Amino acid sequence: MPDDHAPSRPQELHADFEQNVRIITRDMVAGRLVIAARGLLGWEQAELAGRAGIRRQTLAEMEGDVRRQQVRVRNAILGVLEAEGVRFAEVGGACGVLNAGAGKP
């Protein structure tokens, strides 16, 4: 039996998706999302830490949610990821990462 509420055309799917996507703020980004973002880019911890100008151990602590990072550290990490086109979003109550395109802010 078909779902009467399901979009039937690709344009409707796209519009439905856009209406339900919310870009989340930097302070809401958990460590697991940073791990997912690195995976999306194919980066190891050392790559991201080097580009952000922080120690790899500091990044590991953020990713493990061991302790809350200083705003400066969080902004350095997320700034690098965002510069590569990564966006952090909530869709239907679940958080994840999107790739808006390499090198696009």
Q: Where are the beta strands (DSSP E) in the chain?
A: 21-23, 86-91, 94-99
Number of structural domains found in the chain: 1
Higher pLDDT, 7 or 54: 54
Domain extent, residue 52, equals 23-99
Asked if residue 91 is part of any domain, the answer here is yes
Please give the pLDDT value at position 34: 95
Q: Does the pLDDT of residue 9 top 50, yes or no? A: yes
Residue 27 carries which DSSP code? G
Asked if residue 10 is part of any domain, the answer here is no
Q: How far is CA 10 from CA 14, 37, 92, 98, 103, in A?
A: 6, 27, 19, 19, 27
Asked if residue 13 is part of any domain, the answer here is no
Q: Which residues contact 99 (CB under 8 A, 6 or more apart)?
A: 40, 85, 86, 87
Domain with 53 in it: what CATH number?
Answer: 1.10.260.40
Asked if residue 2 is part of any domain, the answer here is no
Asked if residue 58 is part of any domain, the answer here is yes
Please give the pLDDT value at position 7: 47
Asked if residue 104 is part of any domain, the answer here is no
Asked if residue 18 is part of any domain, the answer here is no
- Which residues are paired to 21 by β-bridges? 91
Please give the pLDDT value at position 104: 44
Tell me the two tokens of residue 25: 């703020």
The whole-number average pLDDT for the span 64-71 is: 83
Asked if residue 4 is part of any domain, the answer here is no
Counting DSSP H helices and E strands in the chain, the numbers are 5, 3
Please give the pLDDT value at position 42: 95
